[in-house]
Structure formats: structure tokens, C-alpha cells
């Protein structure tokens, strides 16, 4: 009978041959998912024999991972900023870099402020929900062009007990009008910022599985930054702030877009890889 340790070793070898990064961690995560335990609990059960149905389930998950299907979609969730978020191919998988965006926003506001916040391109709802957890008196509006994404975001608000603090709406920001003039204290967005040229060079995990609409604007990756920066003048209160997550090499162009649209006090914050990742501005 195949044991836990033997299954992990065989799966690690298989995933390594398929050029999957961190094959051992992937193998352990998938087995812990099948066995409904924490990954570290496997280390206390290396000699445990696997049942036939567990072996069959595990083989199927390993097969899927070997095709470059993202681990998070296979498992169906991801940890982000201390919370669990449901994910599927309708939404972009939240990245650790976006946690920096949350940290920087929270650093500029008092916890108890009664803020009105707009999250543009909410996806799984990870930004809006994370902010609402740490700003209990804030009211958030979160929009996305995808109805499927909005449905996932609503599920995540229930999973994380947001209790109506975030209102989710399907809205195409490029073409629809948001009826909230001069009402928000903060706009936050992690828009699709991959250029069409770079999109074609993405890894199979991104290119074949994650939603294209959440990755690229089919142009230079700056379309939504232009539109948000322009419309922000009618959405934010005077003195309202905007925080963007940006891609590699985009910070200067995004800073210029903010300057052109009456923003000042512009700052750029680097991520833990020393890459410009967050751009902040204040409406004059």
C-alpha cells in the first residue's frame, strides 16, 4: 500500500519533470487537500497508508497540476492577508504583492475613520474585503466588468463575514457611468496591467488558465489607469486619495497620468523584490 511519504516523493518527481516550480510543496499541498488536513500534519503521518479512493483523487489532482493548472484553482481557495478566498478561473489569483497595496492604504488612514472607498476591478474581492476587515467603519463599493467575478466576490464576503460592509456591482468602468460624484475618500485598484505584447509571453499557468480580461487590456496595459485617473476628479472628494498597484516599469507613466489629472503628493512604494509596485496620489 502506498504511504503518505511515498506518494509525496513520486508526485514530486512527476511534477519536477513537468517543470512545475516548487514541486514538493505542490505535492504536499495537494495531498493535504485530499486528506483534509494541514500540510505540516503530513510530516506526522509519513507512514500512513493511503486508501484506494485517496490515491485515485490524489493522482487526478497531480495530473491536473502537471498540465500547469494553478494549484489555487485545483484546491479552490487561497490565503490572502490572513483570510481565505475562494478562487476559480473567473478571477485572477491574488498575489502576495497586492498585500503591499493593502498595507500602504491602511498606513494612511485611521482605523476608525468613516471612509467611503471604491475598489475598481475587484475580481475575487480580496482588496475590498481585506480593507473592510481593518477599517470597520468604512463603506466600500466594489465593481468589476465580470458578473462571474462579482458572484465569487460576494461569496468571499460571506466566507469572511463582511456583513454588508462591501456592496458589489457589475459595471464596465471604461464605458458605464458610476453615479457617485465627489463622494469617495479613496479609490483603490489593481487593474489589468499586462501589455498585449507581454501577455503573449506569459507562463502557461497565466496564459492558459487565468482570465485574460483580468491580466491585459489588449493594448499597452495602461488603459484603465488613464480612465480611472481621468474620472477620479468626479468621483473623489477634494483631498481624496488614489492607490494603484502597477506592473514592472509602469510607475513613471502612472505618476504622469496622476499629475495630468490634478493629483499631487504622488509617492511610489517598492515591493519586497525592490520593484515599484504601488503608486499613491492625492486629488488637489
pLDDT in tens, 218-263: 999 999 999 999 999 999 999 999 999 999 999 999 999 999 999 9
Q: Are 39 and 26 in contact (CB under 8 A)?
A: no
**Residue 180: pLDDT above 80?**
no
Q: Which three cell numbers stand for residue 277?
A: 509596485
Band (116; pLDDT cuts 50, 70, 90): very high
Residue whose C-alpha is closest to residue 94's, from 250, 245, 278, 248: 245
pLDDT of residue 195: 97
Q: Is 268 helix (H, G, I), strand (E, B) or coil?
A: strand
Q: Residues 217, 192: contact at Cβ < 8 Å? A: yes
| Grid cell listed for 84 | 481565505
Instruction: Give the dihedral sign, CA 130/150/254/236.
Output: negative
What does residue 252 show for φ and ψ, rounded to 5 degrees?
-65, -45
By the 10 Å C-beta count (0-12 exposed, 13-18 middle, 19+ buried), 5 is classed as middle
Q: Nearest CA to 125 among 96, 97, 83?
A: 83
What's the pLDDT tens digit per position in 21-47? 999 999 999 999 999 999 999 999 999
The rounded mean pLDDT for the chain is 96
Q: Which residues is 283 bridged to in the sheet?
A: 263
**Is 110 within 8 Å of 143 (Cβ atoms)?**
no
Query: How many CB atoms lie under 10 A from the CB of residue 224?
Result: 20
Q: What is the mean pLDDT of residues 122-131?
A: 98
Residues 8, 14: Cα–Cα separation, whole Å: 10
Over residues 90-104, mean pLDDT: 97
Task: Return the pLDDT at 179.
Answer: 76
Give Rg (Cα) of the chain: 21
What pTM did the predictor assign? Answer: 0.94
d(Cα 132, Cα 249) in Å, to the nearest integer? 30
Amino acid at each position: 500500500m502506498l504511504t503518505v511519504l511515498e506518494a509525496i516523493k513520486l508526485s514530486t518527481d512527476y511534477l519536477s519533470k513537468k517543470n512545475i516550480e516548487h514541486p514538493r510543496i505542490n505535492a504536499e499541498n495537494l495531498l493535504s487537500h485530499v486528506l483534509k488536513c494541514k500540510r505540516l500534519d503530513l510530516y506526522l503521518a509519513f507512514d500512513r497508508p493511503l486508501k484506494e479512493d485517496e490515491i485515485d483523487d490524489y493522482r487526478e489532482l497531480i495530473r491536473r497540476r502537471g498540465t500547469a493548472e494553478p494549484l489555487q484553482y485545483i484546491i479552490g481557495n487561497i490565503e490572502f492577508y490572513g483570510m481565505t478566498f475562494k478562487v476559480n478561473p473567473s478571477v485572477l489569483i491574488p498575489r502576495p504583492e497586492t498585500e503591499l497595496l493593502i498595507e500602504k492604504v491602511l498606513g494612511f488612514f485611521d482605523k476608525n475613520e468613516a471612509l467611503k472607498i471604491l475598489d475598481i476591478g475587484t475580481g475575487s474581492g480580496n482588496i475590498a474585503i481585506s480593507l473592510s476587515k481593518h477599517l470597520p467603519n468604512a463603506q466600500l463599493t466594489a465593481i468589476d466588468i465580470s458578473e462571474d467575478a462579482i458572484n465569487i466576490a460576494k461569496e468571499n464576503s460571506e466566507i469572511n463575514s463582511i456583513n454588508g460592509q462591501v456592496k458589489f456591482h457589475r459595471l464596465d468602468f471604461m464605458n458605464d457611468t458610476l453615479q457617485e460624484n465627489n463622494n469617495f475618500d479613496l479609490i483603490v485598484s489593481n487593474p489589468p496591467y499586462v501589455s498585449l505584447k507581454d501577455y503573449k509571453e506569459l507562463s502557461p499557468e497565466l496564459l492558459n488558465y487565468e482570465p485574460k480580461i483580468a491580466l491585459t487590456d489588449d493594448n499597452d496595459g495602461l488603459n484603465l489607469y488613464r480612465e480611472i485617473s481621468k474620472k477620479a476628479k468626479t468621483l473623489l472628494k477634494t483631498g481624496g486619495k488614489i492607490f494603484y498597484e502597477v506592473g514592472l516599469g509602469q510607475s513613471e507613466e502612472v505618476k504622469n497620468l496622476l499629475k495630468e489629472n490634478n493629483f499631487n503628493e504622488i509617492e511610489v512604494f517598492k515591493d519586497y523584490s525592490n520593484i515599484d509596485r504601488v503608486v499613491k496620489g492625492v486629488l488637489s
